[in-house]
Amino acid sequence: MIEFNLNVNHKQFSMPYQCPLCDYVGDSITSLKKHFRKRHSNNCDKCGFKGQNVIHHYMRLALEGYEDHLIFWFLSNGFRESENRLELKEEAIKLVKQKLFINAPHRNKLRVKKSKII
């Protein structure tokens, strides 16, 4: 009989993401999106745009090819309004993972706490 007792901490599998506009680091894309909507929803810190329709500003510049604004659009949840833009959403997710993921390979290791082989 083989018995393994794995000590798995879900925090070990979380993937840290850095906010593109400040020093905040979230443990998932979801937490980064919540932070972004709470802290960066009234203006565009990248280009100085101020106004109530900042999501529309992000969308307009994202459609013109600005990668940073595509990321901001995704983080501000702008894709909820436009589900027909699946390709752009996939591109935004790819960019977020490439540009904002903090590489921390030690977080993905499984640790075997106790093993017993009979």
Q: For the chain, give the longest Cα–Cα distance.
A: 68
36-54 pLDDT per residue, tens: 999 988 888 888 998 888 8
| pLDDT at site 10 | 46
- Backbone angles phi and psi of 15, in degrees to 5: -115, 115
CA-CA distances (angstroms) from residue 77 to 4, 56, 58, 89, 110? 42, 11, 11, 10, 33
| pLDDT at site 14 | 65
| Contact of 76 with 37, CB cutoff 8 Å | yes
78-114 pLDDT per residue, tens: 676 555 678 888 899 899 989 998 864 433 333 333 4
